[in-house]
Amino acid sequence: MSAIPLTARGAERLQAELKRLKTVERPEIINAIAEARAQGDLSENAEYDAARERQAFVEARIRDLEGSLSNAQIIDPAELEVQGQAVFGATVEIEDLESGERLTYQIVGDLEADVRLNMISVSSPVARALIGKSEGDVVEVRAPAGIREYEVCAVSYV
């Protein structure tokens, strides 16, 4: 299995989720299953079925997280010698040349990407176009709505 790139903050979030699943969710599910069993006949017990289904989901998520974390490669962009270039983990401010809108994104791994938090996957079209670029560079991004042009306004390694 290949290494999974993560930022330090992304790895911490995944570890926190894993801890919550193991210490909070798993015990709650075990209690719910025990309570459902105490009600008697399991063949028509909706609470038991729901608890078992939730248990399967949580156990699968735990396995996924453990696998991902065991193969994680933590990358700190501040330690890389990139001299102002956009790299994995960097925060990049860009300006849409057509609309003038400014956007700020952090380039992160697939597992930690969340557009609502302005964290885009390194494999996304925008991130792929930004990698290796510096302040003042113009990039073209092929999007479903067509080709968009952005100027790199700033690159930081927070």
Q: How confident is the model over 114-158, as pLDDT tens digits?
A: 999 999 999 999 999 999 999 999 999 987 888 999 999 999 987
All structural domains of the chain, each given as residue ranges with its CATH number in brackets, are 4-74 (1.10.287.180), 77-156 (3.10.50.30)
pLDDT band at 1 (very low <50, low <70, confident <90, very high): low
What percentage of the chain has pLDDT greater than the value 90? 68
Pair of tokens at residue 143 = 């999007």
Is residue 64 pLDDT above 90, yes or no?
yes
41 against 18, higher pLDDT: 18
Residue 52: what are its φ and ψ, rounded to 5°? Answer: -65, -40
DSSP for residue 62: H
Q: What b/e readout covers 131-141, taking b as 16+ CB neighbours within 10 angstroms? A: eebeeebebeb
| N- to C-terminal Cα separation, the chain | 29
Pair of tokens at residue 72 = 């994680």
Provide the pLDDT for residue 47. Answer: 85
What percentage of the chain has pLDDT greater than the value 70? 98
